[in-house]
Each structure stands twice: as structure tokens, then as C-alpha cells.
């Protein structure tokens, strides 16, 4: 098995925009550069923007190198995610990277989420800070999705692993999905639970996407039959977390994780069945936010939940 550390951008084929994707919304706020190798998505007072893959996929490795907008970005959300919400409105699946903007002087935060079969009432969010400024340069964000696990990577370092358990049942994403990239106004929840809104005096907010990788099992949209291609390049796809990567993942989580649903005592009296409780993570989060991760009691307010592409319970961190 090849270590993900050696999985460079060049090993997997990237495809020009028009071969793999189509604009989703935003008209002129989506601009394609460099023969389709770079895409700019922008948000202004008129609209956000986004694109979507031509094909549906059942499992695979999906990646983009992204540079986020700089300066005041409160209320702005950039999302790189998989969903089938247009096909399964009541029981859709989703795997999300969401980048949550912030006020000037505060860093972007990153949120990951996974759910299946329309289980939006559960929500499996984890939130992290980063060890770099994602508005300063491009960084690679990747999703590995198999029938038994989902792994999120940043610059080839795994940051989160979701293993399928029997008890999850249909809550593990298991239907074909398309890949999306969007930028949009989430003033009502994205920054401190909606306290800070998008300020269009700083618009346009531009997110840059490069090195788009769609390496999965394409599925016929009518027949829903997977056309799996076991080309040689699939050998460079990671098949799990190696011991070296696990050390890197543990270090990342120790330094940068600020929220995990598994430890949220307000939402859950007992952790959901798939959670593997790490006592060190539990203790660190409890010190970070004793109300949410400690006794689970507070006097006012409640968690809110949102629809596709905005799965965050609006906690104030």
C-alpha cells in the first residue's frame, strides 16, 4: 500500500474543467482560467457561484487544491463536498469539507461532516483550525470514500477517519453522489452562530480551485450501474491510514480540533454508536469548552441544523 505522504498532486490525473464539470450557478461569478486548469468562484451581493461534476460516483478519491478569500470573510462559506440531494431529496447522502470565514484577525475554520440516508438530524460534524493561512496559498483537500471508510485529508495528511459500523446502517453514505464546489453567503450561521455577517464592502470574495481530481467509480445516471475503472493509476490511491499517517493525524487532531459531535454532551447523552472515544481528545475538548464537552448543561440557546451544504450546529467558538 502506498503511503499518502508520497501521493503528490502529479500522480493522479487532473482533468480540464469542461471534461469533468459543469457550472452550477452564479453566471459570470464562475470564471475558468488556464485552459480549464483553474477555476475562480466568487461571491458578491448579487450571487455566489458553484460547479458540479458531470458524473455520479460510487466511491473514489476526490481532490482539489484551493486558495480561500483573504481579509474579512465572516459569513462566507466555501464548500467542497459530495451529495445526491438533487436525486434523493428526503434520504440523501453527503460528505463535506466546509470552510467557514471569519472576522479580520481570526482564522478560517474547517468543518467536515458525513451523513447518509437523510440523517441530517444527527450530523457528524468535526471542526478544526489549520496550521497555515488557507488564504495565503493553495492547499490540497481530499476525500477518500470506500464502502467501509471515509478519510478526509489536508495536504495528504489524514485529519479524520470515519469507519463504517453495522450500527450506522444507512447513515453511512452509500448511494452514488456528485462532487460540488460552491461559495455562498451563510450569514445566518457560519460565524459565531450568525453574529457576524457577510460585509459586501469587501466583495468580491474569490475562491481559487486548481488540480481537480475525480478518480472514482462513475455510475450511469439512468441504470445506476457503476462503471469501475481499475486503471493502473488507482494504485496510487490510499487504501487506509498507515501507522506514520496515524501519528500525523493524531498530532493534527490534538493541536487543531475544536469540535467533535462524539464528545458533545448537549446533543447526545451517550455518544452515537460509531464513535470511538479517545480519552485524551475528550479531556482536551472538555477544557476547551466545558459546557459543550463537560457537563452538557447550559442556560439558553440551542443548536440549529441546516440543509444541504450547511451542516453546522451554530455553536459560538
Looking at the annotation, which residues are catalytic?
Answer: 94, 98
Residue 273 C-alpha cell reads as: 454508536
Alpha-carbon span 281 to 251, nearest angstrom: 11
How crowded is residue 122: how many other Cβ atoms within 10 Å of its Cβ? 18
Residue linked to cell 447522502: 93
Please state the length of the chain: 317
Helices (H), the chain: 17-20, 243-256, 279-288, 290
Local structure of 105: helix, strand or coil: coil
Alpha-carbon span 183 to 94, nearest angstrom: 17
Q: Please give the backbone phi and psi of residue 57, each rounded to the nearest 5 degrees, phi first.
A: -130, 145
Q: Which DSSP helix (H) or strand (E) runs through 49?
A: strand 49-53
Residue 178: beta bridge partners? 83
Residue 81 C-alpha cell reads as: 463536498
> For the chain, what is the total number of helices (H) and then of strands (E)?
4, 16
Amino acid at each position: 500500500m502506498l503511503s499518502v505522504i508520497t501521493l503528490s498532486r502529479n500522480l493522479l490525473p487532473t482533468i480540464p474543467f469542461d471534461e469533468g464539470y459543469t457550472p452550477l450557478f452564479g453566471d459570470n461569478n464562475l470564471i475558468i482560467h488556464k485552459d480549464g486548469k483553474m477555476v475562480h468562484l466568487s461571491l458578491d451581493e448579487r450571487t455566489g457561484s458553484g460547479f458540479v461534476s458531470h458524473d455520479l460516483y460510487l466511491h473514489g478519491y476526490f481532490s482539489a487544491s484551493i486558495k480561500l478569500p483573504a481579509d474579512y470573510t465572516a459569513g462566507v462559506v466555501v464548500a467542497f463536498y459530495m451529495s445526491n440531494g438533487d436525486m434523493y431529496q428526503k434520504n440523501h447522502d453527503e460528505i463535506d469539507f466546509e470552510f467557514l470565514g471569519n472576522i479580520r484577525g481570526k482564522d478560517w475554520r474547517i468543518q467536515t461532516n458525513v451523513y447518509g440516508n437523510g440523517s441530517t438530524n444527527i450530523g457528524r460534524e468535526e471542526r478544526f483550525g489549520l496550521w497555515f493561512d488557507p488564504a495565503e496559498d493553495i492547499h490540497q483537500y481530499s476525500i477518500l470514500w470506500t464502502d467501509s471508510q471515509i478519510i478526509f485529508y489536508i495536504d495528504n495528511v489524514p485529519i479524520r477517519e470515519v469507519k463504517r459500523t453495522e450500527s450506522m446502517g444507512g447513515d453511512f453514505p452509500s448511494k452514488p453522489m456528485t462532487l460540488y464546489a460552491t461559495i455562498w453567503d451563510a450569514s445566518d450561521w457560519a460565524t459565531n452562530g450568525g453574529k457576524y455577517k457577510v460585509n459586501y464592502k469587501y466583495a468580491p470574495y474569490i475562491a481559487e480551485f486548481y488540480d481537480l481530481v475525480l478518480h472514482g467509480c462513475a455510475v450511469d445516471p439512468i441504470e445506476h450501474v457503476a462503471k469501475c475503472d481499475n486503471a493502473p493509476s488507482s494504485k496510487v490511491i490510499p487504501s487506509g491510514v498507515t501507522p506514520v499517517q496515524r501519528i500525523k493525524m493524531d498530532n493534527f487532531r490534538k493541536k487543531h480540533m475544536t469540535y467533535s459531535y462524539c464528545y458533545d454532551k448537549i446533543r447526545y447523552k451517550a455518544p452515537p454508536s460509531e464513535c470511538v472515544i479517545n480519552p485524551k481528545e475528550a479531556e482536551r475538548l472538555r477544557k476547551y469548552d466545558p459546557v459543550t464537552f463537560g457537563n452538557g448543561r447550559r442556560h439558553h440557546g440551542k443548536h440549529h441544523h441546516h440543509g444541504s451544504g450547511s451542516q453546522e450546529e451554530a455553536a459560538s467558538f
